Homo-oligomer: A and B are copies of this chain.
Amino acid sequence: MHGGFHYQRATSANLDASQIRYKMNPIPDALPLISSVMSTVHPLRNVSVSQLRTACSSCSLHELCLPAGLEADEMEQLDRIVNRKRPVKRGEYLYRAGGALQSLYAVRTGFLKSCVLHDDGREQVAGFHMMGELLGMDAIGSGKHMCDAVALEDSDVCEIPFIELEQLSRDIPALQRHFHRMMSREIARDYGVMLLLGSMRAEERLAAFLLNLSQRFAARGYSATRFNLRMTREEIGSYLGLKLETISRAFSRFQTEGLITVQNKSIELKDPERLRALIGQGA
């Protein structure tokens, strides 16, 4: 893959050309640049072109991310407090459990996981995070992070100093509103995970997981039916409260039943409808 966009690097061999193009379209890194060069400075904003490149307003994620619903001038104010493009290499920690809360982080590119730790070494994956999603909200209550955040592939995040975000959200109702929405959606997601962990059987859990990924990729303009997993079977298992062997077997069974095609990390949903029907057969 060329340019700064190596999101699909590891698995490009598995994908046909049309899909690669499709996946690269929605989040163009280079295109905005070009158009911004043509018109020197954005009429509404007093920032240089180089800043504009990564500004929220030119970021293809802004409808999903924190600035959703902001006016241009409001977005500019938010831009001023955001430290854009902090890279996190695969395997690196964005923050660790126990560390003091400084900032929230919005994923620009890449993929991360949050892990809750238990004294005895057990760890539980509490979530996987993709572009436009906000991390670190668990730390606001105590001032300390409750979990580790680790990059599953080379990623870029926007760093949003929390104190300043809180300050700014008093001045910008739309920002306040959307920040509350994002916290609340995290709570709603957590409730869904509890339902999954507390009352679904293994195959239902995996089906729900795949459909959730599918829906999130689709919301970002990617294919809903073909995507690559960024996490290992063990990490999926941890998230779903199952062992890696169980994940592997369930994948195999889904494949022999024609529900999906799996090859290593590459997934194709062949029959999303039947997958959906699979959830809710139990009990």
Q: Which of B126, B166, B191, B199 contacts A241 (CB 8 A)?
A: B199
Copies of the chain in the assembly: 2
Please tell me if the beta carbons of B194 and A140 are within 8 angstroms of each other in the complex.
no
A283 at the interface (CB under 8 A from B): yes
A28 at the interface (CB under 8 A from B): no
- When chains A and B are docked, how far (Å) is the Cα of A190 from the Cα of B122? 17
A187 at the interface (CB under 8 A from B): yes
Measured CB to CB, the nearest residue on chain B to A101 is B184
A137 at the interface (CB under 8 A from B): yes
- When chains A and B are docked, how far (Å) is the Cα of A191 from the Cα of B186? 11
A192 at the interface (CB under 8 A from B): yes
- When chains A and B are docked, how far (Å) is the Cα of A138 from the Cα of B283? 26
- When chains A and B are docked, how far (Å) is the Cα of A190 from the Cα of B183? 12
Q: Which of A15-23, A79-87, A174-182, A211-219 contacts B (4 or more CB under 8 A)?
A: A174-182
Please tell me if the beta carbons of B191 and A138 are within 8 angstroms of each other in the complex.
yes
A4 at the interface (CB under 8 A from B): no
Please tell me if the beta carbons of A118 and B199 are within 8 angstroms of each other in the complex.
yes
A103 at the interface (CB under 8 A from B): no
The 0/1 profile, CB within 8 Å of B marked 1, for residues 151-187 of chain A is: 0000000000000001001110100110011111111
Please tell me if the beta carbons of B282 and A120 are within 8 angstroms of each other in the complex.
yes
Q: A141-B188, A187-B190, A190-B187 are in contact. Are A124 and B195 (CB under 8 A)?
A: yes
A3 at the interface (CB under 8 A from B): no
Please tell me if the beta carbons of A194 and B282 are within 8 angstroms of each other in the complex.
no
Q: Which of B125, B126, B142, B166 contacts A177 (CB 8 A)?
A: B166
Please tell me if the beta carbons of B190 and A118 are within 8 angstroms of each other in the complex.
no
Which residues of B have CB within 8 Å of A241?
197-199
| Most chain B beta carbons < 10 A, residue from A119, A147, A187 | A187
